[in-house]
Amino acid sequence: IAKRKGKNQYCVYTEEMGVKEVRRMELEKDLPRALEDDQFHLEYQPKWNVKTNSLYGFEALIRWDHPRLGVVPPIEFIPVAEENGIIVSVTKWTLETACKQCYEWSTHQGLNQPVAVNVSPSLFQTGTLYELIKHALDQSTLDPDKLEIEITESMMLHDVEDIIRQLNRIRQLGVKVSMDDFGTGYSSIGLLDTLPINAVKLDRIFTQDIEKPSKQAIIQAIIVLAESLDLDVVAEGVELEKDIDYLMKLGCFVMQGYYYSKPMKFEHIDEWASQREASLIK
């Protein structure tokens, strides 16, 4: 068995390779085909406003239905797609699908909430994001304020001024921007007042140990800061009722997590929304 990629560039699995590496190589090999063969689907997870007791929006989360490996989660294949550049086509597909499906639930199901799409930092380096968004909006005829993008702090490692320029153009379309996993990355607290964003999403690590006074102090500081900048605060990873109580006391009123719903298929949104409504009336 050869130890590295052969001269003909086909992959060669060696005995020393771990299961993980073999799987990663398989994913890399199969990724171009996945797009062509329509092997991706989006699941949607609601964000719930506890102050108004109403739906705040949905986040789109990509899944790969691999013909042999079953459902592959995004943490496994998004990094691979980023590495080989396929992320641009994946993002194009995600934006188009999310816009189309959001248009559908707004016209057929009377749900007027926006959809949020996760965008990798590398999209800003390619400079193609604006065009992809514009195209997805035009194609779906979705109202631009029904689309949101979720970006992460790690993108601030790149040319910040260029990113701000790109974000401003995107926001001029009417699209909203939120900062995902806030508080975990190369913290962009110092940039919050210059970044053109609408919301911050408190990372799940804060919700995890919310009994700890130190975590509460950090959450509260973030909330005060966000409010002074007129940003919404969304808590990620809300699993338990006690999380909600703590978060509300600290001034956070938009929740997302398994407590409300796991990410669900598009076809189930309608049912979930009507059940949610029914349970509120009771």
Residue type, 16: E
Q: How far is the CB of 155 from ligand C2E (least distance, A)?
A: 11
Q: Is 180 in the site for ligand C2E (CB under 6 A)?
A: yes
Alpha helix positions (H), the chain: 19-36, 74-84, 87-108, 122-126, 129-140, 160-172, 204-208, 213-228, 241-249, 269-281
Q: How far is the CB of 84 from Mg ion (least distance, A)?
A: 22
Stretch that binds ligand C2E, among 102-110, 166-174, 188-196, 236-244 (CB under 6 A): 236-244
**What is the spatial distance between Cα 214 and Cα 8, in angstroms, rounded to a whole number?**
56
Work out which of 75, 278, 280, 281 binds ligand C2E, going by CB under 6 A.
75
Kindly write out the interface string for residues 123-152 of this chain, putting x where it contacts ligand C2E by CB under 6 A and - elsewhere. ---------------------------x--
For Mg ion, the closer of residues 30 and 120 by Cβ is 120
Token match 């790690």: residue? 154
Q: Is 197 in the site for ligand C2E (CB under 6 A)?
A: no
For ligand C2E, the closer of residues 121 and 144 by Cβ is 121
Residue type, 198: N
For ligand C2E, the closer of residues 239 and 270 by Cβ is 239
Residues 6+ apart with CB under 8 A from 60: 42, 43, 44, 94, 97, 98, 101, 115, 116, 117, 118
Q: Is 148 in the site for Mg ion (CB under 5 A)?
A: no
Q: Which tokens hold the place of 226?
A: 């966000």
Stretch that binds Mg ion, among 65-73, 105-113, 158-166, 177-185 (CB under 5 A): 177-185
Q: How far is the CB of 64 from ligand C2E (least distance, A)?
A: 10
Long-range contacts of 205-209 (CB under 8 A, 24+ apart): 206/235, 207/235, 207/236, 207/237, 207/238, 207/239, 207/243, 207/247, 207/257, 208/237
Q: Is 243 in the site for Mg ion (CB under 5 A)?
A: no
Q: Is 84 in the site for ligand C2E (CB under 6 A)?
A: no
**Residue whose beta carbon is closest to ligand C2E:** 257
Token match 């509460």: residue? 216
Q: Is 118 in the site for ligand C2E (CB under 6 A)?
A: yes
For ligand C2E, the closer of residues 185 and 263 by Cβ is 263
Q: Which does 74 bind (CB under 5 to 8 A by kind): ligand C2E, Mg ion, none?
A: ligand C2E
Q: Is 150 in the site for Mg ion (CB under 5 A)?
A: yes
CA distances, 46 to each of 91, 96, 150 (Å): 20, 19, 14
Question: Helices 74-84 & 19-36, crossing angle to 10 degrees?
Answer: 70
Q: Which of 78, 46, 105, 34 is nearest to 264 (CA)?
A: 46
Q: Which residues contribute to the site for ligand C2E (CB under 6 A)?
A: 45, 61-62, 73-75, 78, 94, 118-120, 150, 180-181, 236-239, 257-258, 263
